[in-house]
Amino acid sequence: MTRRHDALIPLTHDHHHTLAHARRLEEGASLTDLSERRRVADDFVNFYLGRVLRHFHEEEELFFAPLVDHEEACDEVMKAVAEHLRIHGLARVLRRGLVDGEADPETMKALSKLLTTHVRSEEKNVFPLVERLLTSEELTDLATTGRRDV
């Protein structure tokens, strides 16, 4: 397996955590105990608000923006951003449901599926484009500009 450029490693770590949450959402959707299902949904919403939003911002601003006008990368970048918007929408539905004391299993399943396919697509398609189309110097510069872990 090829090692990611250091600039992308924090995002890949986020992806690992996101996949774990997606799995918990999928499993939680089948729970019959509403309070346990709400706990799983609430854990995800807290993760989303605390980590996913910042993750999306970093991807879009630091790594996708330089590639959006690049013919080879544009479609993949736009697909990833559209998926970010879909994830925002489903997270909002889940969060709104929690306010009403609900944790809709279908929303949890849809969010789990979308998160999983999104992360896999970015790792398989988008990040290799970022690594190939941006120079190592550009990646290093982006990694130290506006990052949470620097």
Q: Which domains does the chain have, with CATH numbers?
A: 6-143 (1.20.120.520)
Which tens digits make up the pLDDT trace of 82-102?
999 999 999 999 999 999 999
The long-range contacts involving 129-137, CB below 8 angstroms and separated by at least 24 positions, are 129/67, 129/72, 129/73, 129/76, 129/77, 130/5, 130/8, 130/63, 130/67, 130/73, 131/4, 131/5, 131/8, 133/67, 133/70, 133/72, 133/73, 134/63, 134/66, 134/67, 136/5
Regions of the chain short of the pLDDT cut 50: 1, 150
pLDDT of res. 3: 84
pTM: predicted TM-score of the whole model, two decimal places: 0.92
Per-residue pLDDT, 144 = 78
The predicted pLDDT at position 58 comes to 93
